[in-house]
Structure 1
């Protein structure tokens, strides 16, 4: 599993201007089987996406996020090997 961590580097107004495009990008990634969960950080300093796939492919995909491509967020891809998942979250260990 890969964790895509986004950190905003621009005022939230710039982020909000790209939010609809970002959500469409997330939905396309989910439909293609790459993304399994996403959401905002609290406080609102960025977001997190759980992804499946080859690390290089996920890094390349992350760079196409409208937030990243338009310079309002920086991205870090973290590889995570879950060894346990609570009932209902078994897919996270696959």
Structure 2
């Protein structure tokens, strides 16, 4: 499991890549890899909770995000080895 942080690099250019970025996010959701995403507060950027991808495959996927390839954001990938979860999130423990 991973958390992808997308830190602002050149947010003024976001509008040029927004449609592609949204499509990239939706594809990850449809494929079952992106479980949750949202904005980072208060300074902007975003975060994505990712499941079911090896780190190398995730790096390739993140590099394909139009926000990343367009220089709008700088990504940081954090790997998590889940050990325990609330009962509502037990499904996450099956695919660390």
* TM-score of the aligned structures, taking structure 2 as reference length: 0.86
1:7-86 map, 5 Å: 7-11=7-11, 13-52=12-51, 53-86=53-86
Give, in angstroms, the shift of residue 18 of structure 1: 2.2
* C-alpha contact (below 8 Å) 1:5/1:47 kept by paired residues: yes
CA distance in 2, matches of 1:92, 1:59: 21
Runs of 4+ in 1 over 6 A off after TM superposition: none
Give, in angstroms, the shift of residue 67 of structure 1: 0.5
Taking only aligned residues, the RMSD between alpha carbons, in angstroms, comes to 1.4
By percentage of residues, which structure has more helix?
A: 2
Unaligned runs of 5+ in 1: none
CA distance in 1, matches of 2:40, 2:61: 20
Give, in angstroms, the shift of residue 50 of structure 1: 0.9
Unaligned runs of 5+ in 2: none
Any idea what SS the aligned residue of 1:84 has?
coil
How many matched pairs? 93
